[in-house]
Amino acid sequence: MNEKYQKIINKIQDAKGIIIGASNGLSISEGVHIFANNKDFQTNFGDLSVKYGFHSIIEGCFYPFPSEPEKWAFFSRLYNYFLYNKQVSSVMKNLYELIKVKNYFVITSNIDDHFRQAGFAKERLFEIEGNCSNLQCSNSCHDQIYPGDEILSKMNQHQEDGKVPLDLIPCCPVCSGPMQVHVEVDRNFLRGQSWQESYQGYQNFIDNVQGDELVLLELGVGARNKLIKAPLMNLTILHEKATYITFNKGTELFIPDTISSKSIGIDGDISDILQQLVLMK
């Protein structure tokens, strides 16, 4: 097993570019499970779960709240749960430690903003489905994405009985309509200038490492994932000097035959694997 770890460390050291692809499994290894009705969910959203009948964070994200004060009670608590006064997890610390001096780019569907929190450069991040700390106009009347940290933490602190006071609720500075978090929960999700720039940044990164040693590091992406896994597997095929490295548990660890000769997979807890890699580095 140590040999496999050493090989991964060597590949990372030699790489001219590293693309990290991350999804829900990475968050789970940090202890954040948006699909679970667990203790964290009950502690943070238990009363809302009883009131509206949803049973996980992800169900809450898609719930049609009857009013703005109720909607913001949920989304400001979500911000609070993910980020407010939270220490960076050891998982994210180790991941950053492993690649911080390298030329890297991150593509993720996680909405918890934990890459930014851990120190990853914003211009090296493509958050495909947005993140819970940014705001946009719900009418998509204009393109601007607004940092929502201050307003979200205020709404979280001052809510009562599952409702945010009206005077704290943000409204669009252009059309005066409602706002929402910049997360892909409905058709209003903005893929405007800011999203396009991130997407373009990712494409440019791929173009610039053409012909060089490239590592595709996939963390906690499901075996059938089309959004992140399929593109990373394609890049592995297209790039002669690509190495595909994937960490996942049991049957979710999937390496197709077409790329098996260029791949390294480790079956296990991402948290333990990253810790081991940092210790050996």
Interface residue list for Zn ion (CB under 5 A) = 137, 139, 141, 172, 174-175, 177
Report the nearest approach of Zn ion to the CB of residue 197 (Å): 20
CB of 185 to Zn ion, least distance (A): 17
Nearer to Zn ion, 137 or 277 (CB): 137
DSSP per-residue letters across 169-204: S-B-TTT--BEEEEESSSTT---SHHHHHHHHHHHH
User: 36 near 113, Cβ under 8 Å?
Assistant: no
Could you tell me which residues are beta bridge partners of residue 244? 216, 263
Q: Rounded to the nearest whole angstrom, what is the least distance from the CB of residue 190 to Zn ion in the complex? A: 11
In the complex with Zn ion, which residue's Cβ is closer, 121 or 174? 174
Count other Cβ atoms within 10 Å, centred on residue 152: 28
Q: Which is nearer to Zn ion, 175 or 280 (CB)?
A: 175
As measured in angstroms, the least distance from the Cβ of 194 to Zn ion is 15
In a 13 Å sphere around the CA of 82, the CA atoms on its Cβ side amount to: 26
Cα separation values, 176 from 135, 153, 193, Å: 14, 21, 21
Measured from the CB atom, is 99 or 181 closer to Zn ion? 181
Length of the chain, please?
281
**Which residue is associated with the tokens 């903003």?**
113
Q: Least distance (Å) from Zn ion to the CB of residue 183?
A: 17
Q: 5 or 146, CB closer to Zn ion? A: 146
